[in-house]
Amino acid sequence: MPEQYRCSLPVKAGDQRQIGELTGAACATLVAEMAERHGGPVVLIAPDMQNALRLNDEIRQFTDSMVAGLADWETLPYDSFSPHQDIISSRLATLYQLPTMERGVLII
């Protein structure tokens, strides 16, 4: 990737980076490169579940690092029923992997 398009990751607590206005697979390419260059996990906050799933698939194409996502609960705060068991299992599996995740991308 050309140097002018590279961006640095936060280096201290409270430091933030925001990247926007990327079209197509540009976001996935940039995040995959960040994950490869960074010595730890990278957290990507997606605007909605549809984008999170798309980014998950795209980032996996550009990196060998672990890519994990937290599935949407698919319930509202006032619903009287619990999320589906598959969703709960998927979220628990991801949360279980986080303490040992040395590199990769977590999509929320």
Domains of the chain: 3-107 (3.40.50.11180)
Task: Give residue 92's pLDDT band: very low, low, confident or very high (50, 70, 90).
Answer: very high
Q: Do 1 and 33 contact (CB within 8 A), yes or no? A: yes
**Cα-trace Rg, the chain:** 15
**How many CB atoms neighbour CB 106 within 10 A?**
19
pLDDT (tens digit, 9 = 90+) per residue, 20-68?
788 889 989 999 998 888 888 999 999 999 999 999 999 999 999 999 9
Pairwise pLDDT comparison (73 vs 94), residue with the higher score = 94
In three-state secondary structure terms, 107 is strand
pTM of the model: 0.81
The predicted structure's pLDDT at residue 20: 76
Q: Which DSSP letter does residue 68 get?
A: E
Task: Give residue 3's pLDDT band: very low, low, confident or very high (50, 70, 90).
Answer: low
Dihedrals phi, psi of 96, to nearest 5 degrees = -65, -35
